Each structure stands twice: as structure tokens, then as C-alpha cells.
Amino acid sequence: MDRNGFAASLFGLTRLLAAVAGLAAAAVAEAVDPLPMTETAPGVFVHQGRHEESAPDNAGDIANIGFVVGERCVAVIDTGGSLSVGQALAAAIRRRTERPVCYVINTHMHPDHVLGNGAFADSGGAVRFVGSARLPAAMAVRTNLYLSAAAAAAGTECACNGPNAAAAFRELRLVVPDLLVDGEMSLDLGGRTLRLRSWPTAHTDNDLTVFDEASGALWLGDLLFEERLPVVDGSLRGWLAVLGQLRKLPARHVIPGHGELGLPWPAALDPMERYLSGLAGEVRAAIARGRTLVETVEGADPQLAAGWTLAEVTHRRNLTAAYVELEWEE
């Protein structure tokens, strides 16, 4: 065999191995029950998570996640709260298209949006993981958050601080994005462009939105909560400011991080804005009256969080976060 012949057969062997690896990956995907999906706009598929905390019977399937199909490839947007949810999402994609996944986009750091990343990692580098420029640092300092969320989804003891923490963390196969958005970035899926935008600190310090030009679908991540009480894990004042800018985006379909599809835009932001501005108003008034943090949380008017699900714990947490943020404002 001459050198060209050898190279050609090596090339053939590599392709064969890649094909076998692909079949093996497909077999794994087929073995998992695919997540139910709704096609909310042409080529835009969303799975709605439950309004629950992560638990064994939901496996961390508590956030809205999904994918967009282009002519060349598929972009995944958030991967769910466990590796198994990510695998079920991968199976749902295989049900609908043979086109490969080329991007996995994380809207922010929270475990219910990123713990399924590992399900898309075995691709020989063909999949790029995408997030806000501030996402890697945020993920790096939250090992315990991911371990405890994974333990909650699996119903196991958290290895958070034990001697097995490092091994438990490796098992998560958590992939940290390295294609980073600082401002705006466009991704081409073949005949279909996604416009990504990172935001100043709001729900978290690494929020990212994804706008699909073809359908007008806007993935808001947790910048939009519906039904489930918003969690302030970034900046209350920042979030209220970002809401004002989000309103101007020309969305025809909106996908909240938690909540229903088909919401009117931008009116979908109203209930959340009422809650967040009410929270700021109440905490500012308490601070002005000289109330302590504990007095503010204990004496808060429960009416503010009325009508939201999972409000009990989250509302107290939000009051605490708001107090700490607003205590020193000018």
C-alpha cells in the first residue's frame, strides 16, 4: 500500500470509528425516554419543567429547556437539572432530526439549567458550549451548589464537603462553556441565525438571552419567571433596569425559564415587574424606618408574593437579598 493508499484507508477507518461512536451515542439516546416537547414556533422546541424543587421523582426537570433546528445543525438551549434530563433531551432531539448538535447554550449558571450539559459532551469537540463571559467564573465557585442540586435530583446524600466530593463532582460531567458572549454574538445554524446577548447583573450576574431571527422566538432564561416566584440571585435593581430594556426586544414568541409558553409580549413581564418593584419598595421602606434584616423578613407583608408558586422559601430569601443590596444604596 502506498502512502496515499494508507492515508485513505486510515481516513476510512477513522470515519468508520466515528460512525460506530455515533451509533453507540445514538443507541444510548434511544435507550432513554425522550422528553416531551412542544414546537412553540417552527423549528423551536421547548420542554416545560415542573414547578417543583429538584427531587428524585422529577430528576431535576424543573426548568424550561429545548432546542432550535437549523438547516445545518441544532442549538440546545439549557440542558436541565441532571445528566439524565440532558440525555432525555438529547433523545428528544434525535426523534426530530438527524442533524447534529453544534451548540449548547446555557442561559445562566443555575443547576436546573446546566447539569445536563454532560449529555452533549461526547462529540470529539464538535459541540461548542456557549454562555455569558461571566458564566465560567460563576460556575467555578459553585461546586457545592451543583453537588447539592444533583444529590436532591437523585435522592442521595450530598457529598458536598466529604472526602468523595471530587469524585462526585466528576460524575456530574459538568461542562463549562468556553465560547463566551460579552455583549452580543450571532450563531449560524445554517439558514438560521441566533442572536445571543449577555446582560448586566439581574437574575444572576451571567444572564444570557437567545433570539431566533427566523421565528422571532426569544429565550429569556430566568430573566422571565411566570407562575413560579422569581429568585433574586444577582441584583434587584439591576433586574428592574434590565426589564426595561427587554421590553423593547421584538419577540413574537417568548420562552420563560419557568412558566407557560404563548405568553403575550411584553405584557409577560408585568407580574414579575410588579413583584420585584413591590419587593424593592417594601424593603426600602423598612430600611428607612430603621428595621433590621430579621425584622424586615419577619414583618414582611405576605400579600406581595400571593399567587406565585413555591413562594414561601423564595420570598424570604428574596427579602434577605433585597435588604443586603438596598441597605447601602444612595
Residues that bind Zn ion (CB under 5 A): 110, 222
Please say which residue, 233 or 282, places its beta carbon nearer to Zn ion: 233
Please tell me whether residue 289 adopts helix, strand or coil conformation. coil
φ and ψ at residue 198, rounded to 5 degrees: -95, 150
Residue among 110 and 228 whose Cβ is closer to Zn ion: 110
Least distance in angstroms from the C-beta of 108 to Zn ion: 6
Of the chain, the end-to-end C-alpha distance in Å amounts to: 79
Rounded least distance, CB 203 to Zn ion, Å? 6
CB of 321 to Zn ion, least distance (A): 13
In the complex, minimum distance from the CB of residue 146 to Zn ion, in angstroms, rounded to a whole number: 13
Q: CB of 103 within 8 A of CB of 210?
A: no
d(CA 63, CA 52) in angstroms, rounded, equals 9
Shortest Å, Cβ 150 to Zn ion: 16
Sequence-distant (≥ 6) Cβ neighbours of residue 322 within 8 angstroms:
232, 236, 279, 280, 283
Smaller CB separation from Zn ion, 58 or 296: 58
d(CA 88, CA 94): 10
Interacting residues of 221 by C-beta distance below 8 A, sequence separation 6+: 78, 107, 108, 113, 203, 207, 208, 209, 257
Comparing CB distances to Zn ion, the nearer of 110 and 192 is: 110
- The distance of closest approach from Cβ of residue 90 to Zn ion in the complex, given in angstroms and rounded to an integer, is 22
Q: Which of 84, 204 has the CB closer to Zn ion?
A: 204
Instruction: Report CA-CA distances (Å) from 263 to 52, 83, 138, 225, 273.
Output: 21, 29, 30, 11, 15
296/314 with CB nearer Zn ion: 314
